[in-house]
Structures are given as structure tokens and as C-alpha cells.
Chain A
Amino acid sequence: MIREFITADSFEDALRKKLDAKGQAHFLAGGTEMNRLGSSVSPEVAVSLKNLGLESISEAHGIVTIGAAVTLQALRDSVIVPAYLKEACGFCGSLTRRNMATLGGNIMLQRDDSYLMSTLVSAKARLIFADISMDGQYVEENIPIREFHAFRDHFVGSLLVSVVLNKPTRFVASQRFARTQQSPAAVTIAFGADISSGEPHDVRICAAVKGTGVIRFPEIEDGVSSGKFKDPQEIVTLLTASSDFIDDITGTAVYKRYIVGTAIASMYRACLVSIGKGGAV
């Protein structure tokens, strides 16, 4: 239950107010998580980011910078946001919820059915965080999203300021598998690769798997980057041996393994098509 509502007037102010609350505070942008039935967070103090100017989207030299408080619908409506991210925002099936849910909120929650995390990881997004250092100094840092993904707990007290995307150099595709558009997804998965050389390399494959979390597939990433797979379908076989999945309401582990493999193979084929290879390795 929220017992105090504070509006921050700077990044540093927001961070210090959160620190002052000694673990009882949460940043509030859209509010779809904090106020939601069955929310994963239950803070006593809400630190509103409303006045921090985090709602802007800008582009310079092919670099798109998106404020953390930009809503999913604003991303969909933007003319400069890459199409793959717009498509991922559409995984949130409700216009009304997209009007409230924010990019930053979706990243920071890193839910196991996250709409955006797998796409952003595959896109090799970078994240700008503001923080208060151990010695009490205000700092800002620019990190690759894989670092956030790998060391999420390090960023619990941090304020995500913006997301940076390098627009033109990557193929990024994502797919979501759920019973309905608004059901929890069994799997939301994305495939990203640098295709500037005419071959897919620097591959990132990331999936939000219900019950497991947001995971990457380094062996497959390396395999694709190195041209190890003769046929994308080999990935399905490889995934069948994986044991990282569990049975839940969205499907059995067997189903999730199959669908992850199938989706990667399909997006890999699409990547090959995009570089004129007709879907064959």
C-alpha cells in the first residue's frame, strides 16, 4: 500500500529519495505494475518520475535515444523508433495498457513474459543509468543491456534514464507465443544479428520464457555466428536437449523447448532471407 507519494525534480533527487526510503520506495512512471492486482512490487513510497523529462525520443546519426518513461504506445506511434521495437511493443495487446506501460518499467521488471527484453537484448541496446555511488556521488553510466541482464541485482537501486539503439546495422526479429494476445506468453523470443558483412554475425538470441525468466542461448549464438549450423532446423534438435524450462499454465517444458527452437530456426531463416540467402545457410 502506497503511504507516501513523492514527485522527484531531478534524477539525483529521485535516487536520493528512493535511498531515503530504505528499500520501501519504488520509481513510478506509468504505474501499470505498481498499482496492478498481483503486482510483483508493493512499495510504501512511490517516487514519481513525471517531472524528469524522460518521455522524449530522439535520433542522431542513426542512434535512437528513448527516454525510460516513454510509453509503449508512444513508441508504436513514433516515426523514428525501429520497426522491430514497435512490433515488440505490440506484444502488449491492449492499447489502453500501452498508453500507460513504459519502456523503462518493462526493462526494469525483466518479467519472464516481458514484452521487450528479448528484443532489446537482441538489438544490443545500451542503457543509460543514473545512480548514487558507494561513496555517495551521483553518477551516470552507459552499459550494454546484456550487462544489465546478467547482473540485474546490481541495478535494483538505479534509475534507468534512457535506452539507446543503433538503428541501421542489425537484423532484429521477435516472436511471441501465447494462447491469446493478452495471455501470458509461454515464450517471447528475439533473434538479432549484424548483417553488415553479408553474413550473420555478432548474434544475440534472447527469450523470455515463462517460469524460467529472460535467458540467452550463447551456444546457438556462437553456432550461428560461426556458421556451425548447416540448417536452421538443427537448432530445434539442439534445444530439445535443454532442461531450462518448466511446466506451467502456458505449456509444458517440452512445448516451450520445441517452440524456442522452432522460433529461432524460423527467425534465422528470415535473417538469411534478408541478406539474400533464401533461408538456407
Chain B
Amino acid sequence: MIVTCTVNGKSIRAQVEPGMTLRNLLVSLGHFAVRDSDDAEGFAGTDTVLVDDRPVYANLMLAAQAEGAVIRTPDSLAKGARLSIVQQAMIDAGIVQSAYNAPAAALLLTWLLEHNPQPTREDIKEVLSGIFVRDTGYEHYFLAVKLACEMRDHGSYITPISPSFREELTYVGKPKAKVDGRQLVAGWKSFVEDRVEPGACAMVMLRSPHAHAYVIAVDVSEAEKMPGVVMIISADNCPDVYYMSAGQGNPEPSPYDRRLFNRKVRHVGDRVAAIVAETEEQALAAKAKIRVSYEVLAPVLTVEEAMAPGAPIVQNGVAEYLSGAPANLEEYNRGVDPREGKVIYCFPLHGDNRHNVAAAAHGAIGDVAKGFAEADTVIERTYQSSQIQCTPLEPHVVYTKIDNDRLVIHASTQVPFHLRRITAKVCGIDENRIHVIKEKVGGGYGSKQDILIEDVAAYATWVTRRAIYTRNTREEEFIANSTRHPMRVTVKMGAKKDGMLTAVYMDVRANTGPYGNHCLTVPMNACSKTLPLLNCPNMKFDVTTYYTNIPPTGAYQGYGAPKGSYALMTCLSEMAEAIGLDPLAMARKNMVEKGFMLEILKSLGEGREGTVVPVGSCGLGEALEQGSRMIDWGKRETSSDPDVRIGKGFAMIQQGSGLPGLDHSTCDVVLNTDGTFMVHSGGSDLGTGLDTISVKCVSEVMQVEMEKVSILSGDTDNTMFDTGAYASSGTYFSGNATLKAALNLKEKVLAEAALQMGEPVGDLALRHPGQVFSRKTGKTLSYGKLSHDALTGVGRGQLIGYGTFVTNNSAIPYGAHFAEVAVNIRTGAVKVRKFYALQDAGTPINPELALCQMYGAAFKSIGHSLYEDLILDKDGVCLTPDFTRYGVPMTSELPDDFKSILIDINDDYGPFGAKSISEIATNGAAPAIANAIHDAVGVWIRSWPFTPEKILKALGKIS
């Protein structure tokens, strides 16, 4: 049928199929910024357009419904290269980060201002109610609207965007537009899906309906005859290569316990076969023709079930060790069913797969038994956290192709170099045959540290030589993407009457699900990012991780820390109650301060002995001080509603900045022929502004405007090695590598200038706007002339600065989060009235982006604490495989008063004194809210999420 409509002022007459969605029509017309995050769920808003001047979801509308309509898409806002006021304000406010739906948000805010020139906070919340923002929270959207109004009305901003830091610096510590903000907010080509060329094949996955089963047979005979089918891969024809999906340092602290396809499926949604065909429709049609027979096994879904004597065994394969094999290995492996495959350890993780134990670790300082004996009060409490989904707006997606007889992978990944290594292993080729190009990442949060679809697509392309584009459906994101491990954490704590802790013991039982990616390191993090907050002399931990048949787990922002923090900080408050002390006083008595030797770190290395370091820069005390003032700690608030009680709580938090001793970053900075700069950073900016940090480092050192510095990052052909963006490593590791490269280049520029100017190096300095200046003679030499002359036939060649960064020094960020909640004792509903996130990020290089990440992470954690839940039935089937049922927070759930505060403190080791910022912000909400609920109504809620039903049960209203 024919549809006539107007799109962005242009008359369109298009032939459409009756069932075609409006989004598909618009994308076919070139409006690719109308993206899709939810497969037409009508939730995330990435597909928002204006139809007859009303915001609608283009995926929920048939193209046929647009007959006669006037349509506006997000790409209409910029006029050529000139952004609109709203778009620019969004960049300046810091909210254009992973940005998959930034164009849609820009359209909504533009529409709002067209109809309501002076909107209130509630007006803005209303208009954004249909758009899901995971990365930055919503707070700076209010700022962006304010800025846009000011620019419109006054020609400049009046409201400060963020605080600035380090007066002596020009770029670092100042809010400056994110370097990739323009392309992201305008909806210009940025993401993997934008790189797909015509003729690419589609790949879809046949997944297991059973949580635990042997795959008896995969009959693809009918499917292979279907039109357009290129290849079907299953356990029958995939490489016999064991690996694991986590992009971690090599050798990995996770077992190799999977192949591309296994003869046993271990969760509902596990891979059974991949179908590659000319089109997605053909691939789906062929998928429907595959016949699979299973021998269904009983699943285990919880730690308790996995621990039980006689429990079904999830990974019962042959155990192998690349080093450190136990003496009884032959006996251990006797009689194993070959369908179980293998579990290969690079080094011992103290796993015991015959008993569902994937990994274990133990450690202690002092004498815990003595500490408990000396205590006046000892309490022991158990806290349970649930399985949480990362929910990146851009699902896992990859485009693979052959170019120049090499495998090219356009990836949305946090770990391009690990991705290259793992796919090389799977494909059985050398790394030089693979080129990974990290595209803009439309949300990762840890889940894109895992190689979840790239391995299969890469192998299929390598074998077939066909380009392949594939992306997870939103349901696949819920059932086959890495998630936050459910954990049961028991804390035993002893204290003297005065509140001083005498002993702390943490017993962490983690549920890794079907595979062991991150199985040691995430649970270890529950201890290593929490126990070092306390100055207690006697501390001990036991960590045990179990295989089960729940959907896969893995990395998620905060790693294991949010769960450990919830347990430890809530228990600290429970102890305060037990001994009759104010929780804040209790925290102050037991917190670490600068210079305190963190002995506990010795036993908290990730698979090896850790390094004991003193507490360095530490804003913990200031965060507690300022936060308690802000929330009026100690003052009892009341509500006019007789059913509502109000309470306050807080939590101390910390994280790390990368993995000292494990992480490695490299960078080079090239002086171009015209005196501008090109940065090649191995680091992976996943939307958080790492590229901007790199550019700022170079601008600061070389004394040039940021516009004179361009960057290419995360490209395995064109940048040097970097372990990737995880464990809060970006700023500290990749940033430091760039800083070192810039300093190296500065040294070379001065040396070259000394030769060209005929002056001693010691008399020369760099100054704005990009020139060498002689302090002695006053002569100047522009970078352009310097570079040109170095590159003439008689010059000494191109100037390139090189920097590589490794360290054993820790740059630990600290903070405190405070919450005020209103609890309805009649309904059990909890409303977060106030949430204050105070964090020490050292020198925040991008302060506006840092604040937004704090808002995003804190709000995400409010969601985890109160609403989000990946619920399985007794057979392991996910009952919440979409945004709506899963329950992510939106504008309606925002705290009434939400503030992020950067505590100003300089770090000794970070680039320009910077430390990490965003992961730590996921650690505070659960304990702060749990403590506030207790303060309000006197009950302790010891499991995520804190639903109204749990509150009512705790209050004795229901049984």
C-alpha cells in the first residue's frame, strides 16, 4: 500500500507493507536515529518521534497509520553541522553519554519548549516519562532545559553547569563539551548498527527452553534446505575450543567452561544453534525448522539448592588445569559423562565442580576468634541480593565481515583487545588476522565486558566469509546477557560498648549461574571493596561461588561491591542499634583515614596475593560530614499523612580505580603536520567521557584548545593495547597512559624546538595557543611550523609521544550516600524523598559528566534496591523478560530532592589527581535505604528488592 505523509517538512510517498512499523519506514528513509531499544514494547522511548505534533513510539505505530501525518524525527533538529540550542545544552549539561536515546530525548525536550517555554521540574518529568535513561539519571536533564532556556532568552548560560576544580588548569576539572557529544546527540552515524553494509547476512540464535538438559540431537536437515540459509552452527560442527566469555586479564581468573555450543544446556536461553541466512526473516524461518531433542535434567536455581547434598551438578565436566593441578585430578575426573565437556582452570580457583563450586577464596587479618571473644556485643545477620539486569539501551550487537582476508569486528564492547584475543582463540587464528573496531557503546554497565555474541558471529564470518549483523532481542538481553550475581552474604560483627569493632567476618555465597565468567572476582569484590572501609584489626572472609541454572551472571557496574556494601553497611547500622549508638557515630569510629595501612588487601588479590597499601587520598570523612549536614542527620521528620513514617539512613562506600598490578594501558599522541594532535588511545570510552579525558590531558599538557586534538580509541589495528574499560580503570589507567604520552610528546617537542630555534631546552616552554616560547629571548615557534619543518626532507621526522601505564598504587575513591525515605505503614510503599550522593573522585576531570554518572549509578541502585527483579519460575524460566515487568525506575521514581556532590580532594597517583567515579556510586543506595527504612518504621529489610510486600511482612501486617 502507499502511504503519503510529511517527514521533517518533506513530502513522502512510500510503498509499505501493511504490517510495517512507522519506525521501519523512517529508518528506510534514512532517519536511522529513530532507534530501537525494546522491540516495540513501548517503553524505552528510543523510537520516539512526533506525529502531528504529539510524541509517539514509532515502533508501536504502523506506517499505514501515518497516512496524511506530519512527522518529525530527531535528525531534524540540527541544521547541517549546527546543533540546536537544546542539543547543545544537553551536551553541556553532561547528559549525552552512552546516548543511544539522546536524539529522542532532544526531540522531546525541543517539543516541550515549543509548547511550554518555561517548564517546571514536573513538566519536564512528565515529558520524559516515556523515555528510559539508565546512564545519567534524569537530574541534569532539568539542568539542560534550564540552560537551553537561558541560551534562548539571554544568548548565554547563567546557571553554572557544575563546579570547577584546579584553578591552575585550563581544561582538566572544568565542564567542557564532551568530544563526541555532537555526533551522539544529533543522531549522526555512531553505533554498530550504523556501519552495516548492504548484503550483510543476519544471524539468529536458537535457545534452550530448558534450564538444564543434555542436547541429544540437533536436526538441522530441514532448516538447511530453507531459502537463504548460509550456515547453521551447533555443538555438532563448532570448534572444540573451551573458553569463557569474560573480557578479563590474561590468564583469566575464571574457568574455561564453555564452547560456542555445548552438548548440555545450562540455562533457559542457553545457545543451541546459530542460524546464518541472507535475511533475518529467512533465518527465523529456518530456526523454526530445527528439531532438537533434549534429555531434561532437574535444575538448581539457588545457592542453597546448589549446596545441598546430592544436588544436580551443573558443570560436571573434566577438570583441567593449565597450572597448579591437584594431585588427585585423575581420580577426580574418572567416569565423567563426555557431554558435560570440560572445566579448564588457568590456575587454581579452589573450585570443585563436582559440588557445583565454581570458585572459592578465603582470607583474614588479625585474630577474628579473639576479636569476637573481646566484643561486648556480637551479631550475625544474613543479607540476600537478587539477580539484576544491566539493561543497556543498545542491546548486544555486532557486525562482522572479511576485509583484506582479515576478520573485521565492529563491536559495542568495553574490551576490544580481550575481544580480539578470545575470538582469535575461538576461530583458531592469530590475533593479527583480526581487527576489532569499538564503535560508540550505547550502554554497557559491565555487560559489554563479556563476549556474548561476537564469538559466534566472528566464527561464522570467518568460516563463511560472509558479513554478518546480529543483535540480541530485548528478551535475549534478559535471559542470555550477564547480570548481577545473586548473593547471600552473612556478616558477623563484634563490637565493644563504645562502638569500636573488634572483629568482622563475611561469608559470601554467590550464584554464578551456568558459567563461571567472573566467578571469583565479582564475589571477591563484595569483600575487597567493603572491608577496607573499616579500621577493624580482626577481619576474615570466606567466598564461595556456586554454579546453578539461572540466566548467566557477570560484570555489572560496581561488580560485587553493591552486595557486599549492602550487607556490611546495614550490619554496621544493626550493630549500632544493638549497642545503642547513633549509626553515624559508629561509622566515624570505625572508618579508615588517610595513612591507615590496608592489611586486608593482602588477602584480597584477584587470584593472587594482593598488595598492602596505605589509604591515600580519602574524602570519606568529609563526605560523612557534609552529607549529614545536608540531610539534617538526627532530626526526626514527620509527615502530614498519618500512615507515613519518615526515616534517614546512610552508607560509607568505596571502590577502586582499575586493578593495580593487573591492568595496563597504552597511548600515543601524534603531532600532525599542521600542529594539531591525534591521540591513539587503547582505552575504551563506553560513553562515559574517557575520550574527553584523553583530549583534555593532551590539551592541558600541550597548551592547545581541545578542538585541536582528535582521538581514535579502542581500535586494535590503530591503537595500542589496553585491558579495557572495566573495574573503573578508564580515568586512572587509560587517562594516565594518555597523560604520559602527552608528557613524552612535550619533551620531544621541546627538544625539536631547541634544535629548530637554536636555544637550550631549559629556556623553552609550551604556551597557548599551541606554540613553543623562549623565556629567554621571547621568540616563539608554532607547532605547525615546528611539525612542518620536522617533516621536510631534511627534518628529523614526525613527533610522537608514547605512554604506557602500569602501577601497584591504588587510587581508591570514597564517599557516603544518604537517603531519606517515606514509608507507608498501610501499604508498605517506600518513597525516596531525598538522596544525596557525596563522592571523592580526586580531581574530577570532567565534572559535569562525573556528576551525571553519579546520578545515573545512584538512581540505578535505587532501582535495584526497591524495584528491579529478574524473577524465574521453578523451571528457571524468566517471568520478567522485558522492561515493564522487570521494573526499571523512570522519572516517577526520582527522589524529590536528588543531589550529587563531588568532594574536592587531590590524589597522588591519578592523572591530574583524578580517581574513578561511577562504579562506586552503585554501592550506597541499598544500605542507605535499608537503614532509612529501619529509621522510619523500625524493621530491617535484609533482601533486595525492598518491595511493599516485604515491608508489610516485616511490619507484621501480612504473614
Instruction: Give chain A's interface residues, CB within 8 Å of chain B.
Output: 1-5, 7, 28, 31-32, 35-38, 46, 48, 50, 73, 93-97, 99-100, 177, 179-184, 248-249, 251-252, 254-255, 258-259, 262-263, 266
Contact = CB atoms under 8 A, between A and B. Distances in A.
Interface residues of B, number: 56
A246 to B, nearest CB: 13
B880 interface: yes
Given A35-B62, A96-B56, 5 more contacts: A32-B60, A94-B130, A177-B829, A180-B890, A181-B892
A93 B893 CA distance: 11
A182 B60 contact: no
Interface of B: 1, 18-19, 21, 38-43, 45, 48, 54-57, 59-62, 64-65, 67, 126-127, 129-131, 474, 826-827, 829, 866-867, 869, 871, 879-880, 882-885, 887-890, 892-893, 945, 947-949, 952, 957-959
B41 A36 contact: yes
Contact of A3 (B18, B48, B54, B60): B18
Contacts of A251: 947-949
13 contacts: A2-B62, A3-B18, A36-B42, A37-B474, A38-B882, A95-B127, A96-B45, A97-B42, A181-B890, A182-B884, A249-B869, A249-B871, A258-B958
B69 to A, nearest CB: 10
Given A36-B42, A46-B64, A183 B57 contact: no
Given A99-B54, A180-B889, A262 B826 contact: yes
Contacts of B55: 95-96, 99
A151 to B, nearest CB: 30
B21 to A, nearest CB: 7
Given A37-B38, A180-B890, A180-B893, A48 B64 contact: yes
A97 B130 contact: yes
List 5 A-B pairs, minimum CB-CB distance, nearest first.
Answer: A96-B130, A181-B892, A2-B19, A94-B130, A5-B18
B61 A180 contact: no
B130 A31 contact: no
B930 to A, nearest CB: 17
A37 B885 contact: no
B958 A255 contact: yes
Contact of B866 (A97, A179, A262): A179
Nearest to A1: B19
B867 A179 contact: yes
A35 B60 contact: yes
Contacts of A1: 19
B949 A95 contact: no
A96 B885 contact: no
B668 to A, nearest CB: 46
A88 B62 CA distance: 27
> Chain B contact residues: over half helix, strand or loop, or mixed?
loop
Contacts of A37: 38-42, 474, 882
Nearest to A29: B65
A245 B127 CA distance: 35
B130 A95 contact: yes
Nearest to A99: B54
A5 B62 contact: yes
A35 B59 CA distance: 8
B64 A182 contact: no
Given A179-B887, A181-B892, A96 B48 contact: yes
A248 B947 CA distance: 14
A265 to B, nearest CB: 9
B866 to A, nearest CB: 7
A62 to B, nearest CB: 30
Contacts of B54: 73, 99
A99 B56 contact: yes
A5 B949 contact: no
A59 B172 CA distance: 62
Contacts of B48: 96
Nearest to B886: A183
Contacts of B19: 1-3, 5
A95 B827 CA distance: 26
B59 A249 contact: no
B297 to A, nearest CB: 26
A35 to B, nearest CB: 5
A43 to B, nearest CB: 10
Contact of A183 (B60, B129, B826, B887): B887
Contact of B947 (A2, A48, A179, A258): A179
Nearest to B892: A181
A44 to B, nearest CB: 9
A199 to B, nearest CB: 25
B123 to A, nearest CB: 10
A7 B890 CA distance: 36
A50 to B, nearest CB: 7
Contacts of B948: 177, 179, 251, 255, 259
Nearest to A2: B19
A252 B890 contact: no
Question: Which of B59, B65, B892, B959 has most A Cβ within 10 Å?
Answer: B65
Question: Which of A2, A5, A97, A99 has most B Cβ within 10 Å?
Answer: A5
B62 A31 contact: yes
Contacts of A32: 42, 57, 60
A214 B299 CA distance: 35
Contacts of A99: 54-56
Given A180-B867, A249-B885, A31 B60 contact: yes
Contacts of A183: 867, 884-885, 887
Contact of A96 (B131, B866, B892): B131
A52 B951 CA distance: 49
B41 A38 contact: yes
A182 B18 CA distance: 30
A5 B952 contact: no
A36 B42 CA distance: 7
A3 B1 CA distance: 11
Nearest to B473: A37
Contact of B890 (A2, A73, A177, A182): A182
A85 B48 CA distance: 26
B54 to A, nearest CB: 5
Nearest to B949: A255
A132 B30 CA distance: 44
Contacts of A94: 42-43, 45, 129-130, 890
Question: Which of B41, B42, B893, B959 has most A Cβ within 10 Å?
Answer: B42
A159 B786 CA distance: 79
A255 B947 CA distance: 11
Contacts of B67: 7, 50
